[in-house]
Amino acid sequence: MIHMNKSPKNLLVLFLLSTASVSCSIKEGSQDGAPEKYTKKWDEIPDAVPRDETKSKYGNPDSYEVFGKRYYVLDSSKGFKQKGLASWYGTKFHGQRASSGETYNMYAMTAAHKTLPLPTYVEVKNLKNGRKAIVKVNDRGPFHEGRIIDLSYAAATKLGVVATGTAPVEIRVVGNKEEVVAGVDDQYIDENGKLYVQIAAFNTEANALRLIDDLREKKFHSVRIHVDNNQGKLLYRVRIGPMPTDNVAEKVLAQLKQINLNNAKIIRYN
């Protein structure tokens, strides 16, 4: 049972947290697991794309209590970083309500966190294998000592956490409106010296994702979306990379032009 002040808002939060977050936090021994049929390989799973969203009406009480411990929801996620263990949750909670009011979908790139505002987008890095993924935090948990984030099944697959159950990770907040600097989404500022092949740019995420799916069907790897935010207008750039050498970039560019993607070009960040 989670104890909160009994305002109408907090009574609803009490219901949401007790039906979603706590159940996620005590999944061990409760017959949670992976879906029987899941065909995507880890490098075929697209990241969540950060976007400007209003805070959840129900998922952000000032504080809440689980197992006798009180947690205080952060007012801001700006600059937030954390290291600890990641775990994951799957079939048992698929289709149930998350703390944000959204429905938990184990095939979506989402996660649970104890104190970040809902929703928040974070980059999760598996410190064992170096894999990274961007997820949308829309739930509460995990409530086991040392664990800092509970990943959806898809996110855990991409990061290589499914087989081990837990993994040491580092998380950092990305893509929130608060973090937009000089009109460019902070998550998608490329590091110095990175080389990419840019294929196209779209005004809608849906069109970008359709192109990514098509490219992956044609066996192109490391396809990703880079999002520019120009005074609130988002531009979704589809790119392949980073490339290890100019020679590799030239070969990829030639392959793209063979399938009539003639506007593709090589870009470098110095």
Measured CA to CA, the distance from residue 215 to residue 217 in angstroms comes to 5
pLDDT of residue 183: 27
Beta strand ranges found along the chain (DSSP E): 63-66, 69-72, 81-89, 110-112, 120-126, 132-139, 147-152, 167-173, 195-202, 223-230, 233-240, 265-268
pLDDT of residue 197: 93
pLDDT of residue 162: 93
pLDDT of residue 203: 87
Number of residues that this document lists for the chain: 270
Q: Look at strands 69-72 and 63-66 and give their pairing.
A: antiparallel
DSSP class per residue in 56-86: PSSS--SEEEETTEEEE--S--TT-EEEEEE
Tell me the three state secondary structure of residue 255: helix
* 89 φ, ψ (degrees, to nearest 5): -135, 150
Question: In which element (H, E) is residue 257 found?
Answer: helix 246-258
pLDDT in tens, 81-97: 899 999 999 888 898 89
Contact 46, 212 (CB under 8 A): yes
pLDDT in tens, 171-198: 999 874 333 322 223 333 344 457 889 9
Give the chain's domains with CATH numbers.
8-178 (2.40.40.10), 186-268 (3.30.70.1070)
pLDDT of residue 8: 39
Does the pTM of the predicted model rise above 0.75? no
Contact 166, 215 (CB under 8 A): no
Closest CA to 151 of 191, 105, 115, 182: 105
User: Maximum distance among all alpha carbons in the chain?
Assistant: 64
Give pLDDT < 70 ranges for the chain. Answer: 1-30, 176-193, 229-232, 269-270
